[in-house]
Amino acid sequence: MTINSAAADRRSQDASNCLWENWQNGHRIPALPDAIRPRSRDEGYQIQALLEARSPKPLRGWKIAATSEHGQAHIGVDGPIAGRLLAERFFDDGAQLRFGANHMQVAEPEFAFRMARDLPPRDRAYEVDEILASVESLHPAIEVPDSRYDDFATVGAPQLIADNACAHEFVLGPAAPDNWRTNDLVSHKVSIRVPDKVEHQGDGSNVLGDPRIALAWLVKELSALGITLAAGQVVTTGTCATPLPVAPGDSVTADFGSLGKVGLTFWPE
């Protein structure tokens, strides 16, 4: 290892430590200090990988942020970014979550795919049909994102990637009926609501035009990074509706019609 690469590794570790400690403690920072700030997407992913190394359990999957124009504007980027779903932040349908110091204060309905087979990195691009043939099941899901930055819309893609693409907590619903493969996911309607308070509606077209295209984007992104999308891992493809404002004590339900429902409750605080 050269002196320069050793110094870069130390900077990445310092950046990861900073983000991890703020995440665990519910604190925020204006931005990473300039001396350890990532300057490229690749540097951001190097820092993000060190967050995964802090988790005591195997990685549960991947998230895609900013798969819609609204989502891109919301976090100040011009295209999708990927993040990791850590096991200790991954929950089943009906989970009761602590709201804590959540800064974004939103919940997002998402199409999530569980993989049946590994998709390792390769030079030849994966075709969408090939990727779908490697999917075990489709699930309704809710993501509760958050950021470790005071103003996440101004720090830029490399820092957001380092911050795990605004990953925080994730709830996976039951598998959809097997006929999901013949459904038109593009026009499939989805709603997310807090009863008697607020409801947002959307459809699959808000996710890079098609949730299956979003899944293919993630496979391509991981392949370029030299990472295998592993069997059993879940890929959640980004919000298909405008993020729903939430608060302590709220019960949230995402309704995917014939594909099922998923819900969570925030403890009162």
This prediction's pTM:
0.95
**Model pLDDT, residue 75:** 85
Among residues 154, 63, 148, 146, the alpha carbon closest in space to that of 105 is found at 146
Residues present in the chain in total: 269
Give domain limits for the chain.
3-266
Q: Are 193 and 115 in contact (CB under 8 A)?
A: no
- Would you tell me how many other CB atoms lie within 10 Å of the CB of residue 87? 14
Q: Share the mean pLDDT of the chain.
A: 96
CATH fold of the domain at 3-266? Fumarylacetoacetate hydrolase; domain 2 (3.90.850)
Q: Structure tokens of 93?
A: 């349908």
Which residue positions in the chain have pLDDT lower than 70?
1-3
**Model pLDDT, residue 59:** 98
**Model pLDDT, residue 3:** 54
- Alpha carbon 228 to its chain's center: 17
Among residues 179, 165, 177, the alpha carbon closest in space to that of 235 is found at 165
**Model pLDDT, residue 2:** 58
Please report, rounded to a whole number, the percentage of residues in the chain having pLDDT higher than 90: 92
**Model pLDDT, residue 73:** 82
